[in-house]
Copies of this chain bind each other. A is one copy, B any other.
Amino acid sequence: MEADFLAEMGYTGLTGRLKRLSDAFIYQTRDFYREHESDIEPNWHMIFLLLQKNEKMTVTEIADTLQLSHPAIVKLINKMKKRGYIDAEIDPQDNRKYHLMLSQKAIKKLPVLEQYWIAGEKALEELLGFNTRLLEEIKKLEDRMAEADFKTRMDKLLVNE
């Protein structure tokens, strides 16, 4: 097990480590789904939860709620539609809007998915040592990013350009 260059770089390595961690979660979750349940993808999780809670949502509403761009949601939803997990109906009052909802196929699969989600949650608890310290630190970081983001701060801190 060799040394971790990024970890040795202190602050400088942090952004790369965040990327590495985030990717690890995504790829491993995808692996997990593929072994257990062929055609579901990791980033559908939040869509399932959202539509389970709200029944019907538009593309824009989902994008806002998850703080992602709308094209990201469009791509995601199109794939879910193609695989039969999402139904859509046009808003009779406003023909630009689609109301998205879970299909019967999706609803039928929920109990199985919930088992996976629980396993994921438990795995994460283990990984975080059964405390919420990391969560809290990330919250602080998010809050500070909301006050003034990374670029704004870099611009400000760049000496004599």
Q: What number of A residues sit within 8 Å (CB to CB) of B?
A: 78
Which of A1-39 touch B at CB < 8 Å? 1-2, 4-7, 9-22, 24-26, 28-29, 31-32, 36
* A6-B66, A142-B7 known; A24 vs B149 contact (CB < 8 Å): yes
Q: A9: shortest Cβ distance to chain B, in Å?
A: 7
Would A115 and B159 count as touching, CB distance under 8 A? yes
A161 in the interface (beta carbon within 8 A): yes
Given contacts A129-B140, A138-B17, A151-B32, contact A123 B157 (CB under 8 A): yes
Does A84 sit at the interface, judged by CB under 8 A? no
Stoichiometry, as copies per complex, reads 2
- Report the minimal beta-carbon distance from A32 to chain B, rounded to whole angstroms: 5
Query: Is A64 positioned at the interface, with any CB of B under 8 Å from its CB?
Result: yes
Q: Is the CB of A161 within 8 A of B36?
A: yes
The answer to whether A83 has its CB under 8 Å from any CB of chain B is: no
- Out of B22, B132, B144, name the residue touching A126 (CB < 8 Å): B144
Point out the residues of chain B lying under 8 angstroms from A22, CB to CB. 15, 18-19, 21-22
Other A-B contacts than A22-B22, A116-B154, 7 sampled, CB-CB below 8 A, are A12-B124, A14-B134, A19-B22, A21-B145, A32-B155, A127-B150, A137-B137
